[in-house]
């Protein structure tokens, strides 16, 4: 097999395997009957209709979207000043702070979820909406922290110095130079946190699973207590939403760069 053919073949195969779950989800969501057989029975949009008419599902959608939106902001509020501080100053325990910011995400989620459970139970806020928002916010701090740090690193030191010689410092420097250059990374960090929060199960479950039902919780409950294809509908919509968000990021920003790819010419 020639080298030329190998690459598209290999990548194509991997891509196919990656796409298979998405295909089957689409299949289940469009299936006329409840149980999916191969070959499929018929196409129907009834499950999509059910999602948007069933109050249980709609409520879960609302919860998920609100939690994702708000927790993303919480994560940003922690990540941005921290990343800026670590970039601007030379403090001895900087690495510790960065490690702290990155830990919630690196550790197995079960552990973080359990930690939050213990905390909120002790503090008496177990089961509350705010508790989920804050938990997700802290849990997902890592993503904007990493992307914003990446963005700050990409700013040439001499650009900042040039601004200094022209009279900029402190908040002016931040407002006119740093922020505009780091904005795409802030947005992408938020987008990552948002999309991942929508899909997050265990932390939301352990903190307020019985009172605040998010979509992943509802899906899992459906799996256990009564299968319905509406789960697949949700999954398909989530994937489409993710594709939309990341597609927009790619369209308006430099996605390879946002993910850390710098060619030597860039610097």
With vertex at residue 128, the alpha carbon angle to CA 124 and CA 130, rounded to the nearest 5 degrees, is: 105
Q: 127: helix, coil or strand? A: coil
CB of residue 18 vs other proteins: minimum separation in angstroms? Answer: 6
CA–CA distance, 125 with 130 (Å, rounded to integer): 8
Q: What is the length of the chain?
A: 267
Q: Does 231 bind other proteins (CB under 8 A)?
A: yes
Q: Which of these ranges, 43-51, 56-64, 65-73, 148-156, lies near other proteins under the rule CB under 8 A? A: 148-156
Among 79, 186, 203, 233, binds other proteins (CB under 8 A): 79
Binding of residue 48 to other proteins (CB under 8 A): no
Selected from 52, 62, 118, 211, the binder of other proteins by CB under 8 A is: 118
Q: Does 73 bind other proteins (CB under 8 A)?
A: no
Out of 43, 53, 166, 265, the only residue in the binding site for other proteins (CB under 8 A) is 166
Residue closest to 56 by CA, chosen among 226, 228, 233, 215: 215
54 versus 156: smaller Cβ distance to other proteins: 156
According to DSSP, residue 126 is labeled T
Tokens 């702290």 correspond to 100
Please pick, from the candidates 143, 196, 208, 212, the single residue that binds other proteins as defined by CB under 8 A: 196
Under the binding rule (CB under 8 A), the answer on residue 237 touching other proteins is no
Q: Give yes or no for residue 148 binding other proteins (CB under 8 A).
A: no
**Is the separation of the CB atoms in 22 and 243 below 8 Å?**
no
End-to-end CA separation in angstroms for the chain:
39
- Using rule CB under 8 A, residue 238 touches other proteins: yes
Residue 20 interacts with other proteins (CB under 8 A): yes or no: yes
Among 30, 70, 82, 187, binds other proteins (CB under 8 A): 82
């Amino acid at each position: 097999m020639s080298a030329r053919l190998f690459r598209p073949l290999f990548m194509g195969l991997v891509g196919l395997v990656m796409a298979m779950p998405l295909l089957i989800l689409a299949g289940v969501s469009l299936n006329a009957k409840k149980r999916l057989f191969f070959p499929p029975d018929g196409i129907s949009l009834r499950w999509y209709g059910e999602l948007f008419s069933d109050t249980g599902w709609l409520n879960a959608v609302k919860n998920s979207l609100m939690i994702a939106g708000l927790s993303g902001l919480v994560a940003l509020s922690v990540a941005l000043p921290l990343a800026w501080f670590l970039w601007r100053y030379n403090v001895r325990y900087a690495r510790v702070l960065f490690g702290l910011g990155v830990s919630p995400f690196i550790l197995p989620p079960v552990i973080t979820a359990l930690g939050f459970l213990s905390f909120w139970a002790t503090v008496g806020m177990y089961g509350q909406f705010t508790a989920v928002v804050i938990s997700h916010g802290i849990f997902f701090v890592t993503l904007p922290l990493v992307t914003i740090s990446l963005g700050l690193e990409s700013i040439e030191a001499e650009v900042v110095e040039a601004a200094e010689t022209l009279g900029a410092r402190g908040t002016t420097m931040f407002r006119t130079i740093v922020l505009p250059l780091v904005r795409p990374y802030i947005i992408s960090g938020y987008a990552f946190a948002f999309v991942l929060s929508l899909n997050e199960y265990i932390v939301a479950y352990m903190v307020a699973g019985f009172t605040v039902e998010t979509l992943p919780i509802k899906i899992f409950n459906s799996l256990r207590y009564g299968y319905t294809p509406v789960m697949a509908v949700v999954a398909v919509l989530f994937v489409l939403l993710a594709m939309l968000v990341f597609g927009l990021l790619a369209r308006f920003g430099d996605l390879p760069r946002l993910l850390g790819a710098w060619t030597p010419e860039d610097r």
